[in-house]
Structure 1
Amino acid sequence: MDADRVADAFASMPREWFLPASARHRAAYDGPIEIGHGQTSSQPRTVEAMLRLLDVRPGDRVLDVGSGSGWTTALLAHLVGPSGSVRGVELENELVAFGRDNLASGDWPWAGIRPATPGVLGDPAGAPYDRILVSAEARTLPTELVAQLGAEARMVVPVAGEMVLIEQRTGDPRVSRHGRYRFVPLR
């Protein structure tokens, strides 16, 4: 039986490492926690559900849209391992610095966070990606991100209150819905 890789990632990357010092005492709270600039560290149960849907494999190239504090970037780095890569993008410059500092406390040179380009969703220049995780809610399915998926790729994104999984295969992408969730808006 394979080990539970997602549970192992959570054990290896405690949420408290990625929270502001004033919020670390609340790390075990299974709800969103403010990290500043109108952004939150997502509810652990929600992050777990997203990672399970994403089905990250060792060696994958992953894009983390809305990387915030760097927690999801670090979880993804654990899942892809040193043969993979994770690129986090974040619009808020202060959170880019906070997330980078948090990542620097670990040993994941295959993961990084950079400022998102205003007006550009994701990282089209770095595409294609095997997996894309979006930690902000889109109003409609973001086709700009679907276009950044490689062959046999997956994306998890909250859309209009529902968690959506896009599975890229030959032909049209397959879209499935996986429950109701609330997130900060994707800008």
Structure 2
Amino acid sequence: MGERDNSANRAIFSRDMTRIAEARKFYARLMAANAGSADPRLEDVFAAVPREAFLGPGPWTVVAGNGKVETPSADPVHIYQNVLVSLDAEKGINNGEPFLHAMWIGKVAPKPGEAVTHVGAGSGYYTALLAKLVSPGGAVTAFELDSSLADRASKNLEAYGNVTAIHGDAVVGGLPPSDIIYVNAGVAAPPAEWLKALKPGGRMVFPWRPAERIGLAVMVTRTDKGFACDPFMRSWFIPCIGASAATPSTKIHRDKAARSRKIWLTADKAPDRTATAVIGDVWFSSQDVGGRRSQ
């Protein structure tokens, strides 16, 4: 009787694992299609990294519009959709929308051997995806300011040998030289030290919040002619502590912000008539790295 029970349990477990693997595989195909990336590895890593391992025990709370919905059970198939999953409801911290991250990761195009810095790693899910994409030979340094999340990320990422998880402030501590800086907290402007940390050809994607009602995702590329920038979509993230407050005198409209094509350090050049925003020790220009004005 006991042997038959064990066999039945093994069969049920096997069916469950197959069903979850199929859900994850379909989810990965959706992520890759939404990203529009030519890199076939993007689908592979979304299929390989188990999202549920980074969310804590289920059932999970899914953020839907202005409300929240709890999954019917702890079955992982419920979170292989384009849904935000709450990590800390009180602080408003979520495991972000997978479609958005698929697009961002596809845009920064991580390559094997590259050095990535992840600012705002949360519990480490998207850190793990980045770690797989820069393997072999690459490494990820992941910063998380919240102590509880940093502890969770450290444990969740133990299996990823090319990740260093740091409980620390990426704004005041400086960043290591990076091919990619992947920022998951809203900033009024990227600190000058982040820009300086980009290697030649390096890319940074960050949520730009120069004003309360403006939220844009911006891609920055370090070229031999300066920091090219491309505000490519709307985006909202929780504020990055220490880098999220624009000065009271900062006034900017969304259309003007969207015309930004280059970022300057004020130490290198004073703002001129092409400035779309001047914030702290950096400013944004409507003139691109080739000298052309955005209309």
Provide TM-score, normalisation by structure 2.
0.58
Q: Any residues of structure 2 matched to 1:51-70 within 5 Å, and which? A: 51-70=105-124
* SS, match of residue 68 in structure 1: coil
Contact conserved, 1:73 with 1:112, CA < 8 A, in 2?
no
Aligned twin of 2:198: 149
Q: Is the counterpart of residue 4 in structure 1 residue 54 in structure 2?
A: no
Q: Distance in 2 between matches of 1:49 and 1:76?
A: 13
Q: Report the number of matched residues.
A: 181
* SS, match of residue 240 in structure 2: coil
Q: Distance in 2 between matches of 1:180 and 1:72?
A: 20
Aligned twin of 2:185: 136
* SS, match of residue 173 in structure 1: strand
Change (3 A) 1:122 1:179: farther
Structure 1 alignment gaps of length 5 or more:
none
The counterpart of 1:79, out of the listed 126, 133, 155, is: 133
- What letter is aligned with 1:62? V
Q: Is the counterpart of residue 39 in structure 1 residue 89 in structure 2?
A: no
Q: Distance in 2 between matches of 1:147 and 1:72?
A: 24
Change (3 A) 1:142 1:29: farther
Aligned twin of 1:15: 51
- Stretch moving more, 86-95 or 135-144: 135-144
- What letter is aligned with 1:110? N
- What letter is aligned with 2:45? A
Contact conserved, 1:138 with 1:186, CA < 8 A, in 2?
yes
Structure 2 alignment gaps of length 5 or more:
1-37, 61-73, 210-214, 242-295
Root-mean-square deviation (CA, aligned residues, Å) is: 1.8
Tell me by how many angstroms 1:156 deviates: 0.6
* SS, match of residue 152 in structure 1: strand
* SS, match of residue 146 in structure 1: helix
* SS, match of residue 88 in structure 1: strand
* SS, match of residue 78 in structure 1: helix
Q: Distance in 2 between matches of 1:66 and 1:180?
A: 19
Aligned twin of 1:115: 167
Contact conserved, 1:19 with 1:27, CA < 8 A, in 2?
no
* SS, match of residue 226 in structure 2: coil
The counterpart of 2:154, out of the listed 97, 100, 115, is: 100
Superimposed CA distance per residue, residues 14-65 of structure 1 (whole angstroms, 9 cap, x where no aligned partner): 2212112132644224132111243110100011011011110100010000
Contact conserved, 1:154 with 1:166, CA < 8 A, in 2?
yes
Tell me by how many angstroms 1:3 deviates: 5.3
Q: Distance in 2 between matches of 1:122 and 1:148?
A: 13
Give the fraction of aligned pairs with identical amino acids, expressed as a percent: 28
* SS, match of residue 157 in structure 2: helix
- Which one has a bigger Cα radius of gyration? 2
